[in-house]
Amino acid sequence: ENVLTQSPGTLSLSPGERATLSCRTSQSVSNRLLTWYQQKPGQAPRVLIYGGSTRATGIPDRFSGGGSGTVFTLTISRLEPDDFAVYYCQQYGNPLTFGGGTKVEIK
């Protein structure tokens, strides 16, 4: 099983700041198979980035994904109040697995 480790566990930032979230995989993953989701309290996850770097429909361009091999990143260029949430990475494999999440909270 490909284990995904997200860091940091919690990121405390202010609106307008840049957020960089990391997702490390225990086995190499094609960047085409790496997806990022956002989840707010009491809500289902929402896809942000798929194929490693493609923004899903309606996702603003302040969100960007990158990386390759075993290290992937989600960057939020300038945090908006609506961006404070938990973010999960996910890889398409057998089995499909998710990271443990990074909570982005208001500092």
Partner 1 sequence: QVQLQESGPGLVKPSETLSLTCTVSGGSITNYDWSWIRQPPGKGLEWIGYFYGGGATKYNPSLRSRVTMSINTSENQLSLRLSSVTAADTAVYYCARLSMGYDDTGFYHFFEDWGQGTLVTVSS
Binding site for partner 1 (CB under 8 A): 32-33, 35, 37, 43-47, 50-51, 54, 56, 88, 90, 92, 94-101
Question: Whose Cβ is closer to partner 1: residue 14's or residue 43's?
Answer: 43
Residue 15 CB, shortest distance to partner 1, in Å, is: 26
**Cβ closer to partner 1: 15 or 105?**
105
Q: Which is nearer to partner 1, 44 or 81 (CB)?
A: 44
Contacts of residues 68-72 at CB distance under 8 Å and 24 or more positions apart, as own/partner, are 68/31, 69/28, 69/29, 70/24, 70/25, 70/26, 70/27, 70/28, 70/29, 71/22, 71/23, 71/24, 71/25, 72/22, 72/23, 72/24, 72/25, 72/29, 72/31, 72/34
Our CB check for partner 1 shows the closer of 37 and 63 to be: 37
Q: How far is the CB of 65 from partner 1 (least distance, A)?
A: 12
